[in-house]
Structure 1
């Protein structure tokens, strides 16, 4: 998962106005007519896709995948028509957020849509799944207190949430040391499962990014060791085999434009070069 700083300046005024008109129409409808109206207006949120993509350099906000051969959905973080709170409980969700771009997340289809894990055959994918933590307030049409809710699923638009999850040495996602107790760890585990963040293809892609970082670091360390042999060797390496380019490349691999930058950052931290990582809050910035 990557942190994405949402930038309204990237969205044309005309696109925002279309959403505002749809919202005004929705507000005037009776409860039984809202779902049908929302379904009929799907072009409204789809119109935001290219601008959401600019905010994340084309990457899925959940999986960090940049696969150009797959369509990406505009996911409603809080489900617009039905919210599944558990395997047996559901409700009407958050229809008043159907046209709110603050609720939109760019999502690869395997993260957003219900599908199967190739290894376990388990059902994965977010779909309408949106449980709340025990004791959380729950927003409704008449009491839209979403700021008081405590969602289980981590949100890539919240830096505090993104800081709870990281790529581990195995290439899978796991909790960071900033998780406080079982509740935070549960949020991470549920997010990984429901957003399909550990599917085999994703883990393989992260490992590939981590191997590249490992090779570059090892090459740098070889040069560093050789430079310590003598002043003459050090001078020769400085002139003919400069390491600055490798260091620059390592840092670029952790930047926001790169797919699986979080995996590159993880590998640098594992190898003791965490100071080269672009900070998560900067990684979410749009150039």
Structure 2
């Protein structure tokens, strides 16, 4: 999971700013939000986290708007906001609500309604793959049995006493207790640490594993077997590419001592440059599993892997800065 720089300003879309021709003459987003606030905050409709009225709940449709999805693709590309897998060529994505709209599950309890006032809010919407977002059965790394994982309506807090349940309350009150990483607000690299075998764990700082990292790994199913295998394959390719670059650099250094043909040496320089470009391309924003690759670079740096490259003024740490 990588930090995503999203402009928090609501995009200039008809669903947010087009006035309706019929009363109430407000944009679809405002109409839907007002209807939801009126219905879900009515004590005659919900009690003890259960719906007690026969009236039909207002539907949420703004987040399904095609223009809105297009804007989300501009922000997230065709990569899942949580696991960084590219779903563009193989499966549809989900428009995911970071804070769930209909109900909230946390541990063994369920709350109704959910964060109804955020159902169409721009800053609450992300793009997710179905395996991160939906409840599905997965084989999990280092686990003997399959588990049903996926975010669905989960939104755990460290302290339930600060959970916001009404649209007139300040959602920021939850922030200190929030247990899920929001890639548009948080820096996931502060909370997650990836390893060459494709696995991930909560990053440990001052002897303490990040609670947000631990919760996010579980809720987003970031240790599902197929995902771990794909991450490892990406890291293996990176390792091969860097090793190839190191060999090209070492060979070019050897040639300098025995060859004085400038044309031939220039050709060898081009091979080094091509190998370097191949490594750099693996860190393009649209590439999968950038967070894992960045941790691979950090661990390789700590192991002294890049000494050969530095001898010719190639700085591998530039890949992550």
Do Structure 1 and Structure 2 share a fold, with TM-score over 0.5? yes
Tell me which residue corresponds to 2:20. Answer: none
SS in 2 for 1:196: coil
Displacement after TM superposition at 1:195 (Å): 0.6
Displacement after TM superposition at 1:13 (Å): 2.0
1:53 paired with 2:112, answer no
RMSD (Å), alpha carbons: 2.7
Question: Among residues 231, 250, 259, which one is paired with 2:256 in the alignment?
Answer: 231
**Aligned partners of 2:84 and 2:15: how far apart in 1?**
25
Aligned CA distance change for structure 1 residues 87 and 249 (closer, same or farther; 3 Å): same
CA contact (8 A) 2:202 2:211 kept: no
SS in 2 for 1:198: coil
**Aligned partners of 1:79 and 1:162: how far apart in 2?**
24
Aligned CA distance change for structure 1 residues 255 and 148 (closer, same or farther; 3 Å): farther
CA contact (8 A) 1:57 1:256 kept: no
Tell me which residue corresponds to 2:213. Answer: 188
Aligned CA distance change for structure 1 residues 185 and 223 (closer, same or farther; 3 Å): same
Tell me which residue corresponds to 1:269. Answer: 298
Give the number of the structure whose alpha-carbon radius of gyration is greater. 2
Aligned CA distance change for structure 1 residues 152 and 136 (closer, same or farther; 3 Å): farther
Displacement after TM superposition at 1:239 (Å): 2.7
Displacement after TM superposition at 1:264 (Å): 2.5
Higher fraction of helix: 1
Tell me which residue corresponds to 2:279. Answer: 250
> Structure 2 unaligned runs (5+)?
18-27, 307-315
**Aligned positions, number:** 275
Question: Among residues 187, 190, 208, which one is paired with 1:160 in the alignment?
Answer: 187
CA contact (8 A) 2:203 2:213 kept: no
Tell me which residue corresponds to 2:131. Answer: 110
Displacement after TM superposition at 1:168 (Å): 1.5
1:151 paired with 2:169, answer no
Tell me which residue corresponds to 1:99. Answer: 120
Tell me which residue corresponds to 1:207. Answer: 232
1:44 paired with 2:77, answer no
1:72 paired with 2:93, answer yes
Aligned CA distance change for structure 1 residues 92 and 135 (closer, same or farther; 3 Å): closer
Tell me which residue corresponds to 2:33. Answer: 23
Question: Among residues 198, 221, 226, which one is paired with 1:171 in the alignment?
Answer: 198
CA contact (8 A) 1:170 1:207 kept: yes
SS in 2 for 1:106: strand
Aligned CA distance change for structure 1 residues 173 and 98 (closer, same or farther; 3 Å): same
**Aligned partners of 1:148 and 1:237: how far apart in 2?**
63
**Aligned partners of 1:267 and 1:161: how far apart in 2?**
16
**Aligned partners of 2:179 and 2:186: how far apart in 1?**
15
**Aligned partners of 1:247 and 1:233: how far apart in 2?**
24
SS in 2 for 1:229: helix
SS in 2 for 1:4: coil
Aligned CA distance change for structure 1 residues 246 and 36 (closer, same or farther; 3 Å): farther
Per-residue Cα deviation, 1:175-197 (whole angstroms, up to 9, x for no partner): 335x4554x53321221111111
**Aligned partners of 1:61 and 1:73: how far apart in 2?**
10
**Aligned partners of 1:161 and 1:260: how far apart in 2?**
12
Per chain length, whose mean CA-contact separation is higher, i.e. which structure has more relative contact order (CA < 8 Å, sep 6+)? 1
